[in-house]
Chain A
Amino acid sequence: MPREAEPSLNEKQFVIQALQENLRLDGRELDQYRPLELSFGDQYGLADVKLGKTRVLAKATAEVTVPYTDRPLDGIFTIATELGPMTSPAFEVNRPTETEVLLSRLLEKTVRRSGALDTESLCLVAGQKCWSVRVDVHVLSHDGNLIDASCLAVVAALRHFRKPDTSMEAGVLTVYTPAEREPVPLSWLHSPFCVTWSFFGEEGEIAVLDATWIEEQVRVGSCTVSLNKHGEICQIAKLGGTPVEAVALLQCVSVSLTKVKEFSDLLDRKLAEDLKRRDKGGFMAELRAENDR
């Protein structure tokens, strides 16, 4: 298995030295994100997030299946992450690296376990039929901070997603095609986002947001905070690394909240734009006899 290419000693030393002088290689502030781009596909549930050179694509799909026997009233919701060799030759299919396991765990904790999607609303017939919603996360390009970009992509894809409308009449379940009935959005409770801090310096006293790949290679620790725009924290993960002072961490969390509000606003704005783009003029336009030809 090819190993991840390592940055040279000169680069490592310089990144650390520059950070001690509040400088980053791309000229950003320490608590500044790279330019964030979010776009949706033509289909429902396809979100493409670009964070500098990092690019993540998330696709949400739904199908009707049988619910788990121990949870007859719940639908099924899964998040599948895939880091393929296209991202970097160090990633192989079917052999998850540590990065991939951590990424899927954090997404799971942030989105699924925080109850962002109401799984009870996915139930169609108790114990017999339910929706299985699946989000596939494809990392197209890896230049650091995969977690934040992936989390935003997953939440955006799910909020953009529409599942086919259904009806129950006299014990018969009907799933309508988009032509018959307009697909319906998922029952979404809150939008959590991840904000990852990287720590540098002897005692982790320098906290940096949105680390690039090279910064991730030299950091002494990292901490991922997941919260929604109301300031409700879903999880905090500080997996190993140099211990960081509690006061510094509190400061990080409060800055995270402002960032999450920005993400939330961006997502709301983009969703509204997308809705406008899809809306061909409402009910009256649909009733018109003339067509585009």
Chain B
Amino acid sequence: MSNDRLFVLPGETIDPSLIPSHPKNPLRLGPGLRHIPPSDIVPTVAGQLITNPVKNFMSIEYNSTHYIPSQGDIILAQILRSTTDFYLCSLAPYTAPATLPHLAFESATKKTRPILSPGQLVYARVSLANAHMDPELECVHASTGKADGLGPITGPGCVFDVSLGFARRLLMARAVEDGGVGVLDMLGGEEGGGLAFETAVGRNGRVWVGSDNPKTVVIVGRALQETDRSRLGMERQRRLVKKLVREMRWRD
């Protein structure tokens, strides 16, 4: 992470020269920013201001453990119960439940909708996140009708809690270069001896790790949590991966 990014505090005025202006695209605000009409953009959290002039996008990068839903976030939700038209899901313990309509799945109709039981996990996108309203989720792209990897999570695996900042770093398109998180690549690469596993990272700070071998799940989960907790750099991540893999081999 570069240090030249501006650090802002909640309620601070953002210099208008920093706000990206694009001739065609509308300005999009990410997490941590709020538009107060007519023309004020105010940070709601303390963190680093990120601007992208090409996408005409700005957001605030911060680390916390309290998840606030924001539109477009990919999250890992847990079904609480089902009502006539939608499922109630929890994004984080002790927060207001989010709604997931029964028909918001790929090729779901009234008859073919997936039946989910309480406690099951779904990988979903936040489709609506207004202030003072329960957020709404979807497991299908509204315009294409494709799931794009979203949907109920089945198969052997476990969920591990990480901090929100770490989850965002994992979700970056170039997690190794920009986010500085290489554990997953290392575990699947030569340091980890080519472990086979899959992950589903939710912006709400939950990571699902799936593998047929429970040992692999435990190694990956521990590596992720340890990297997050001790804020490990690349070199220490490599050492951690080697250590965990060696420990597991030794136990066999």
Contact = CB atoms under 8 A, between A and B. Distances in A.
A11 B214 CA distance: 12
A17 B214 contact: yes
B121 A14 contact: no
B218 interface: yes
B182 interface: no
B218 A18 contact: yes
A8 B214 contact: no
Nearest to A21: B214
Interface in B208-252: 208, 214-215, 217-218, 221-222, 244, 247-248
Contact of B94 (A5, A9, A12): A5
B90 A10 contact: no
Nearest to B206: A8
Interface residues on B, range: 20 to 34
Q: Is the interface of A mostly helix, strand, loop or mixed?
A: loop
Contacts of A18: 158, 214, 217-218
B218 A10 contact: no
A10 B214 contact: no
A25 B90 contact: no
A21 B119 CA distance: 24
A7 B221 CA distance: 16
Contact of B221 (A13, A17, A25): A25
Interface residues on A, range: 20 to 34
Contacts of B153: 10
Nearest to B160: A25
B111 to A, nearest CB: 25
Interface string A2-28: 100111111111110110010111110
A89 interface: yes
Contact of B247 (A9, A17, A27, A89): A27
Given A8-B121, A10-B208, 13 more contacts: A2-B94, A8-B119, A9-B117, A9-B121, A10-B120, A10-B121, A14-B157, A18-B217, A21-B214, A23-B215, A25-B158, A27-B222, A27-B244
Interface of B: 78, 90, 93-94, 117, 119-121, 153, 156-159, 208, 214-215, 217-218, 221-222, 244, 247-248
Return the 8 tightest CB-CB contacts between A and B, nearest first.
A5-B93, A9-B119, A14-B158, A18-B214, A8-B78, A89-B94, A8-B121, A8-B119
